[in-house]
Amino acid sequence: MASPEVEDIFADILERAKALDPANSRKWFDNLVVLHFDGGSLRIGCPDEATVQFLQENCKGSFIHAAQQITGHLVTLEFGVDAHAKIDSGDRRYQPGLKLHPDYTFDNFVVGPSNRLAHASCIAVSQSPGDTYNPLFIYGSSGLGKTHLLHAVCFEAQRRLNNAVIQFLNCEDFVNRFIRAIEEGNLSGFQSQFRTVDALIIDDVQFLREREHSQEEFFHTFNALYNNGKQIILSADSAPGKIPSLEERLISRFSWGLVTRIDSPSYETRVAIVQKKAHVRGLNISDEIAGYIAHKVQANIRELEGALTTIYAVATTTRHEIDLELAQTALDGQIEAGSKHISISDIAEVVTRHFDVRLADLQSKRRSQSITEPRQICMYLARNLTRHSLEEIGGHLGGRDHTTVMHACSKINKARDNDSKMNALLNELTKQITQAPQT
């Protein structure tokens, strides 16, 4: 295991990575372990394949950036599964090839009147696939938790049944793989892949509409599994009979088991979801603030999360604790104006106005101090207030590469630590950006 010094450095790196990318920081980062660290290369042990995938896809940049800031060296980074990195909810078995989001577990799902039946049926089905509701069909508008529940079923079914083979995919992938199999003349390979599983879970089956050939194939897959007592779980944005141009025989089969709807969550459920999302990110949020967010964002849970992320980002950038005033400042203008997000242009506009320079100057090759500083501030704020990647931010500011943006962020970050005037300026700019009327 790593020495205490390395443990300390690693703890600092994690803290820094969380601050660099608040939207993707998670409480379970505390369970990560250092497997190897020699100054230039860092290998991090993760609880399971789902967390490895999450980190690879969302956090690699911020981790490298954090490691370089803390150590002052170029650092290469690798994530891998390791038994020492345990997750609180116990063992999570992992079937290779399943792509699951580590947040989408039953533990992290808030149950309320709007989703109680869907949740209960998913629990039942994950405990004994094929025996209770078959097929299970869940439908509801976008952002209400269908995909989350399907992932949770996969986690739970794998935990309970050692050797169960699960196929879980989005309907679009199913259709694409079917088309590819035909092109490659390997239909039998495709069929055996889908017809021999213990559970077939397909998300967003409304994608089958107007795809007659795929519907035909799906019909036979369905029959093969159903006749063998294998579990089928489907989700869609509307009830089977309301999916346009879905064949009658599929509509009838989709309705053989249990069809259950998820509705928009009530105020109380939304408050609980905000609390849960904050908890998963390792944040403490008062009831008052959770209530405020739940009041502001009503329709879609994805937007609730977005609001929480915005508040957290503003709190980190302004180094201010999360109180009601900050929450109001962060969300005002954003959500009321149709939940638009802050763009790099919004940021550039405020920065160029403040420094009295032109956007073209920021995008030019000029390196005088009067241009370099606003440009770096612009990069820093874009990194903290938007979800754009380093590459995108560099692209917007005159086609600069990601290392330039990384350097700018770390420089401004340091300046902010050491210079109270810089800190005040960044607070003021952030306030103007987050309050600016959205275009």
Residues 6+ apart with CB under 8 A from 2: 10, 33, 34, 35, 37
| Binding partner of 214, given Mg ion, ligand ADP, none, CB within 5-8 angstroms per partner class | none
Rounded alpha-carbon distances, angstroms, from residue 65 to 60, 318, 390: 8, 20, 11
Q: By rule CB under 6 A, what string of x and - marks binding of each residue 4-23 to ligand ADP? A: --------------------
Stretch that binds Mg ion, among 139-147, 154-162, 226-234, 420-428 (CB under 5 A): 139-147
Q: How open is the CA angle 340-283-28, to the nearest 5 degrees?
A: 110
Q: By rule CB under 6 A, what string of x and - marks binding of each residue 347-386 to ligand ADP? A: ----------------------------------------
* Min dist. Cβ of residue 16 to ligand ADP (A): 25
Binding of residue 27 to ligand ADP (CB under 6 A): no
Question: Based on CB atoms, which residue is closest to Mg ion, 201 or 378?
Answer: 201
Site for ligand ADP in 85-104 (CB under 6 A): 103-104
Among 31, 53, 58, 147, binds ligand ADP (CB under 6 A): 147
* Min dist. Cβ of residue 431 to Mg ion (A): 35
Helix ranges restricted to H, 196-261: 212-227, 248-254
Among 146, 253, 270, 296, binds ligand ADP (CB under 6 A): 146
Which residue number is nearest to Mg ion in terms of Cβ? 147
Task: Answer yes or no: are the C-beta atoms of 215 and 208 closer than 8 Å.
Answer: yes
Q: By rule CB under 5 A, what string of x and - marks binding of each residue 144-163 to Mg ion? A: --xx----------------
Binding of residue 118 to ligand ADP (CB under 6 A): no
| Binding partner of 305, given Mg ion, ligand ADP, none, CB within 5-8 angstroms per partner class | ligand ADP
Q: By rule CB under 5 A, what string of x and - marks binding of each residue 203-222 to Mg ion? A: --------------------
Among 142, 223, 328, 389, binds ligand ADP (CB under 6 A): 142
Binding of residue 400 to ligand ADP (CB under 6 A): no
| Binding partner of 329, given Mg ion, ligand ADP, none, CB within 5-8 angstroms per partner class | none
Nearest to 260 by CA among 122, 64, 75: 122
Among 21, 48, 156, 305, binds ligand ADP (CB under 6 A): 305
Tokens 């947040």, located at residue: 103
Tokens 């009601």, located at residue: 324
Query: How far is Cα 258 from Cα 234, in angstroms, rounded to an integer?
Result: 10
**How many Cβ atoms sit within 10 Å of the Cβ of residue 313?**
22
Residues in the chain: 439
Binding of residue 49 to ligand ADP (CB under 6 A): no
| Binding partner of 144, given ligand ADP, Mg ion, none, CB within 5-8 angstroms per partner class | ligand ADP
Query: How far is Cα 4 from Cα 164, in angstroms, rounded to an integer?
Result: 41
* Min dist. Cβ of residue 124 to ligand ADP (A): 17
Residue 88, judged by CB atoms within 10 A of its CB (0-12, 13-18, 19+), counts as exposed
DSSP state letters, 355-410: HT--HHHHHSS---HHHHHHHHHHHHHHHHHS---HHHHHHHTTS--HHHHHHHHH
* Min dist. Cβ of residue 27 to ligand ADP (A): 15
Q: Is the dihedral of CA 48, 49, 55, 56 positive or negative?
A: positive
Question: Based on CB atoms, which residue is closest to Mg ion, 115 or 376?
Answer: 115
Query: How far is Cα 248 from Cα 254, in angstroms, rounded to an integer?
Result: 10
Question: Based on CB atoms, which residue is closest to ligand ADP, 108 or 221?
Answer: 108
Q: How open is the CA angle 72-74-80, to the nearest 5 degrees?
A: 115
Which residue number is nearest to ligand ADP in terms of Cβ? 145
Task: Outline where DSSP puts E strands in 140-291.
Answer: 166-170, 199-203, 231-236, 258-261
* Min dist. Cβ of residue 269 to Mg ion (A): 18
Question: Based on CB atoms, which residue is closest to Mg ion, 35 or 200?
Answer: 200
Query: How far is Cα 197 from Cα 405, in angstroms, rounded to an integer?
Result: 47
Binding of residue 276 to ligand ADP (CB under 6 A): yes
Alpha-carbon torsion, ordered 331, 334, 340, 343, to 10 deg: -90
Binding of residue 302 to ligand ADP (CB under 6 A): yes
* Min dist. Cβ of residue 321 to ligand ADP (A): 25
Binding residues vs ligand ADP (CB under 6 A): 103-104, 108-110, 115, 140, 142-148, 273, 276, 301-302, 305
Binding residues vs Mg ion (CB under 5 A): 146-147
